[in-house]
With several copies, the nearest count.
Chain A
Amino acid sequence: SLPACSNKSGKIKIAVVTNCTAEFWSIAEAGATKAAKEADVDLQFRQLEKDFDAAAQMQIVDSWVKQGVNGIAVSVIDPKNQTEDLTRIAKKVPLITMDNDADQTGRLCYIGINNYEAGKAVGRLVKKALPKGGTVAIFIGDTKSANGTARTQGVLDELAGQKDATGTPANHPVNPKLAGKQFGQYFLVDGEAKQDGSPTNASPVAGAVLGRVQGLPDLCMIGLYAYNPPAIMSEARSRGMLKDIKVVGFDENWLTLKGIADGEVIGTVVQDPFMYGYKSVEALAAKARGDDSKLVKDPIPYRVVTKDGGPDETINGLLVKFPKVADFEAKLRDDLKSVGK
């Protein structure tokens, strides 16, 4: 009955490991499960319980290599430093990177969005919300993660209107006690993204920043991890500030989507975790059967979800979709229902 034995029974076995445990990855797991069913392979989908611990991730991958799985997909935590290990592994087992890439490893392909570009999309939403500039704060789980860094820089570059923007240190024009940095017309509170480290801590961090900017005009709060926008909304609500601020989000948290539908959130930039999971397994299963055609060639485009949606656009060479929140949510629910989640 042990899954490992099925290997001997001849069934192809595909394994996927994430970089942390999150609802995002549960959606990806749903996609992977669907693809596994369709391709008739055994799937082992492991959400990394030790969040962002590259050593623990390699430990797991290592045991899969030893078990003789037929393909592995990894959400890489630290591309540069994991390269040596992943290169060695890629020589033994077909390897795909997803969500976060390590391109020097000999992996078959990368499945994921370009986080920097997605960050710029967030920046555009902010600009649309506050066309004449204003005060912004950025919230994120981890300022140092590869995707977090790229996303944040994308936002800031878009706001500043230049590449590699570092901002100019400044005090807030209305409340000089508030220190920060100016990016173009936008004043960033404290001059850096506020890191909370974990979802539990997101609300207090957001709450305090809201408390500090209370009363200032033209406020936009940006949440770059899936749990950040709901935390911002909840704190703003409890301080009676929700009507005075704009919120821009990232990822497809249900509460964020609801916020968009209710007009409390301007919009959110989403990846496609379901597709990450689905395509990873599809490509690896095909590869195990000697078929390279399912390997993904191009980055998966990010999408921008807003209340009213909009027509597709090509931005920096990417075809970007602008779905309506209602349609997007319905599609997502269908996807999940298809695997009983």
Chain B
Amino acid sequence: MTRILGVLGLLVVLYTALIASDPNAGKPDNLISVANLQGRYGVVTLGAALVIIVGGIDLSLGAVVGCAAVLFGILMNDGVHPYAAVPLVILFGALVGFTNGLLITRLKVQPFLVTLCGMFIFRGVAQLLAQPMRGTVGMTSVIEAHREFNDPLRTLRYLLIGKAPTDGELLFPAQFILLIILAGVVGFFLHRTAYGRYWYAIGHSELAAKYAGVNVNRQRVSVYVVCSALGSLGGILLFLDAPSLQSNNAGYTWELYAILGAVLGGCSLRGGEGTAVGMVLGAMVLPVLENLVNFRGDKSDVIPVVIGLTLLFGAIVDELIRQRSRVHR
């Protein structure tokens, strides 16, 4: 419980500040737009958080998001139907995770190193993929090339993003709903099934888990697969929501945002800690903070400072709450 008090408080403060900043900020359409962004961040954060729980880290996640988004666009551009492209892209993500997992568990290369290399590689792969499109993919250009994808793509966007098929107006926070559903699934596995126990055990002590008969390598690989698959789903969402994407910066630094969300939500980078609820809350922080600086009309130059200090403040308060609760429980 106390693990999420801090982030909960931070969110309350941020939302209060947001609503106070401008009469329009608290209106449903703005809150929906924030929630939608939170949903997308959240989906990726879930993946990052699971990897962190088993004591790993995934720096390639942002690049995978970008690469998946580009791949999604390119596949459809090459005539693959949107409904077929979605599972293909997720399969791509799963394969990436599988490779990461194998390198980490079989060849025993440090996760930080494997995934840092992955970050370069998949950023590059995205660029290579997008070469025929001059580095830019977007829904409009896909539809221009394949008129017949107009309806399915708009339906997909309606379902996954919540934007009106007609003019792209945001109607409901579909991405946030998706996040809640996925967090439910992740939470079920994490908190209710044997797998979750194994992940926590591995994160805290790989040796103890191994001696207790847990197939550590297999579990680790699965978690990396899930992580990258969620990342590629994030890429699909990014493609559907963004007007267009540049292959050399799509998903840039998302790995850091995702890790940040996970850590704010109570995951420890030492592994073995974290809850599904915390992940969702942690992922909600950055989008509302960004929306807040947009609404306050902060100068571009102060924005990073505001974001950095707010997060630091949140982290400190969170830690203090945790320490108090440890003493007084």
- Touching in the complex, A and B, CB below 8 A? yes
Chain A residues in contact with chain B, CB under 8 A? 2-5, 8, 21-23, 26-27, 30, 44-55, 58-60, 62-64, 66-68, 77-78, 80-85, 87-88, 142-145, 149, 177-179, 189-190, 192, 194-195, 197-201, 203-205, 207-209, 211-212, 214-215, 227, 230-231, 233-234, 237-240, 242, 253-255, 258, 336, 341
Chain A min CB distance to B46 (Å): 20
Q: Decide if B167 is an interface residue (CB 8 Å cutoff).
A: yes
Q: Are the C-beta atoms of B300 and A194 separated by less than 8 Å?
A: yes
Given contacts A23-B134, A254-B140, contact A59 B169 (CB under 8 A): no
Q: Are the C-beta atoms of B297 and A81 separated by less than 8 Å?
A: no
Q: Are the C-beta atoms of A189 and B168 separated by less than 8 Å?
A: no
Max count, chain B CB within 10 A of own CB: residue among A66, A145, A239: A66
Across the A-B interface, how many residue pairs have beta carbons closer than 8 Å? 231
Q: Are the C-beta atoms of A54 and B300 separated by less than 8 Å?
A: no
Chain B interface main SS type: mixed
Q: Are the C-beta atoms of A4 and B248 separated by less than 8 Å?
A: no
User: For B245, what are the chain A residues with a Cβ–Cβ distance below 8 Å?
Assistant: 54-55, 199
Cα distance A8–B24 in the bound complex, in angstroms: 11
Given contacts A177-B23, A197-B248, A239-B29, contact A144 B134 (CB under 8 A): yes
Q: Are the C-beta atoms of B251 and A47 separated by less than 8 Å?
A: no
Cα distance A209–B24 in the bound complex, in angstroms: 10
Chain B min CB distance to A100 (Å): 13
Q: Are the C-beta atoms of B294 and A78 separated by less than 8 Å?
A: no
Q: Decide if B138 is an interface residue (CB 8 Å cutoff).
A: yes
Chain B min CB distance to A149 (Å): 7
Chain B residues in contact with chain A, CB under 8 A? 21-25, 27, 29-30, 33, 37, 127, 130, 132, 134-136, 138-141, 144, 163, 167-170, 238, 241-252, 287, 290-291, 294-297, 299-300, 303-304
**Nearest A-chain residue to B132, judged by Cβ:** A341
User: For B29, what are the chain A residues with a Cβ–Cβ distance below 8 Å?
Assistant: 66, 211, 214, 239-240
Chain A min CB distance to B88 (Å): 22
Given contacts A144-B246, A234-B243, contact A211 B24 (CB under 8 A): yes
User: For B23, what are the chain A residues with a Cβ–Cβ distance below 8 Å?
Assistant: 8, 177
Q: Are the C-beta atoms of B249 and A84 separated by less than 8 Å?
A: no
Closest 8 CB pairs of A and B: A81-B138, A144-B135, A208-B294, A81-B244, A55-B242, A26-B134, A195-B300, A78-B244
User: For A66, what are the chain B residues with a Cβ–Cβ distance below 8 Å?
Assistant: 24-25, 27, 29-30, 33
Q: Are the C-beta atoms of A198 and B252 separated by less than 8 Å?
A: yes
Q: Are the C-beta atoms of A21 and B300 separated by less than 8 Å?
A: yes
Cα distance A258–B142 in the bound complex, in angstroms: 13
User: For A46, what are the chain B residues with a Cβ–Cβ distance below 8 Å?
Assistant: 300
User: For A5, what are the chain B residues with a Cβ–Cβ distance below 8 Å?
Assistant: 22
